[in-house]
Amino acid sequence: MSNTAAATPASEALPDQNGHFGPYGGRYVPETLMHPLQELEDEYFRSQKDPEFQNELQYYLREFCGRPTPLYYAERLTKDLEGAKIYLKREDLLHTGAHKINNSMGQILLAKRMGKTRIIAETGAGQHGVATATVAAMFGMECTIYMGELDCERQALNVLRMKMLGAEVHPITAGQRTLKEAVNEAMRDWVTNVRHTHYALGTAYGAHPYPVMVRNFQRVIGDEARRQILEQEGRLPNLLIACVGGGSNAIGLFYPFLEAKEVSLLGVEAGGEGIQPERHAARFQGGSLGVLQGTRSYILQDEHGQIQLTHSVSAGLDYAAVGPEHAWLRDHQRAEYDYATDAQTLAACLKLSRLEGIIPALESSHAIAAVIDRAPKMSPDELIIANLSGRGDKDVQQIADKIDL
């Protein structure tokens, strides 16, 4: 794949050497993890400059994952909303059904290069677990996935997929029994087994180098979208929209456009049942600066620093902290962050299904809800690219329980 149309942002200088994006990011981990993280950082930056590694990665992204994904003109949605012209970046068409596999492929190739034989990962909705189990199977590596017991119940289909792929799935019974507890357990495993094990973290979050590494494995989304919109429209878009859980699909789309100041960036968080404590997962609405699971960022916490409960109709956005680079982009007003409620999200999901014949994941439906809000306020000669981060098959039962079909 040629990335020649992509600009190299001057902000490629961020994060700094210690993984800081201004006051955010860094490496806040127990002493025992400092050495493995340093080793990972060194090998990652070496691999980035190694053409053989890059060729191998591009080969598997193309032949196994199905890249490049189309940039699709959503004609009926555009007509319906009577505003900006809407394009969808179709990450839902990738193997396993979401953008997560871009990162799983990159990290597992890196693990192979480091001589590791075992992969571990955390997962919330199960999409990262499935992508990681898939790539591990393809390379014949041992794979263990940590998943909260409650998420195992909510996403039973993905648990079965992981098992079919030969992965061991460990349900975690501690605490809220969701993603946060799964991350703790994966970190515990890593400390014990680091000599032959790689921890494939699933989003642009955690201790340095994960936020920068995951961003760079996901920037292929934005690199392609930039080239495609230039081919199809001969100009850059006016607005990019993506949902934000940990932030990897959003930063992957945004990053190659950071230097093009005329392109507005909008991240969409989970507004749940509205912005009241414990009823949402919109970290930029009511969150504050803190440290959680290796990094410093915006976190939903109470006045004693206790992590608050979160809620979202979509398990993939249901996390109390957001990737550090997003906090930095927001401080500098380079990106704007809004939220969509569960009700807006479900309505957007159904609208896209019926107008375009595409059933989006509930995570991605947050981005579509924002398209429905913003497009009518823009003129027909303006362009929006929305990231369709995943497909909705995994969510149909939950949707059917919530709306009368």
Please give the residue ranges that form the binding site for ligand PLP (CB under 6 A): 98, 100, 125, 127-128, 203, 243-250, 316-317, 361, 363-364, 389-390
Residue 379 designated active-site: no
**Residue 128 C-beta: closest distance to ligand PLP, Å:** 6
* Burial tier of 291 (Cβ tally within 10 Å: 0-12, 13-18, 19+): middle
Question: How far, in Å, CA of 270 to CA of 326, rounded?
Answer: 15
Question: How far, in Å, CA of 274 to CA of 294, rounded?
Answer: 28
From residue 13, give the alpha-carbon distance in Å to each of 16, 21, 22, 311.
6, 10, 11, 35
The residue among 91 and 185 lying less far from ligand PLP, judged by its C-beta, is 91
* Sign of the four-CA dihedral 164, 168, 172, 173: positive
Q: Are 299 and 321 in contact (CB under 8 A)?
A: yes
Question: How far, in Å, CA of 219 to CA of 239, rounded?
Answer: 17
**Residue 20 C-beta: closest distance to ligand PLP, Å:** 20
What are the φ and ψ backbone dihedral angles of 2, each rounded to 5 degrees?
-95, 130
The residue among 123 and 228 lying less far from ligand PLP, judged by its C-beta, is 123
**Residue 250 C-beta: closest distance to ligand PLP, Å:** 6
What are the φ and ψ backbone dihedral angles of 29, each rounded to 5 degrees?
-135, 165
Radius of gyration over every alpha carbon of the chain, rounded to an integer in angstroms: 19
Tokens 């998943």 correspond to 147
**Residue 101 C-beta: closest distance to ligand PLP, Å:** 10
Question: How far, in Å, CA of 6 to CA of 223, rounded?
Answer: 6
Q: Are 251 and 204 in contact (CB under 8 A)?
A: yes
Catalytic residue (choose from 248, 312, 314, 389):
389
Residues in the chain: 405
The residue among 19 and 267 lying less far from ligand PLP, judged by its C-beta, is 267
The residue among 83 and 256 lying less far from ligand PLP, judged by its C-beta, is 256
From residue 122, give the alpha-carbon distance in Å to each of 95, 119, 244.
19, 11, 18
- What does the angle CA 135 – CA 138 – CA 142 come to, to the nearest 5 degrees? 75
Amino acid at 78: T
Give the tokens for residue 364.
Answer: 């991605």
**Residue 240 C-beta: closest distance to ligand PLP, Å:** 14
The number of helix segments (H) and strand segments (E) in the chain equals: 15, 14
**Residue 303 C-beta: closest distance to ligand PLP, Å:** 27
Question: How far, in Å, CA of 392 to CA of 356, rounded?
Answer: 14
Catalytic residue (choose from 100, 116, 180, 394):
100
- Type and span of the H or E element at 224: helix 220-233
**Residue 345 C-beta: closest distance to ligand PLP, Å:** 12
Residue 122 designated active-site: yes
The residue among 98 and 150 lying less far from ligand PLP, judged by its C-beta, is 98
* Sign of the four-CA dihedral 254, 238, 388, 314: positive
**Residue 8 C-beta: closest distance to ligand PLP, Å:** 23
Catalytic residue (choose from 41, 122, 181, 363):
122
**Residue of minimal CB distance from ligand PLP?**
390
The residue among 83 and 272 lying less far from ligand PLP, judged by its C-beta, is 272
Active site residues: 100, 122, 389
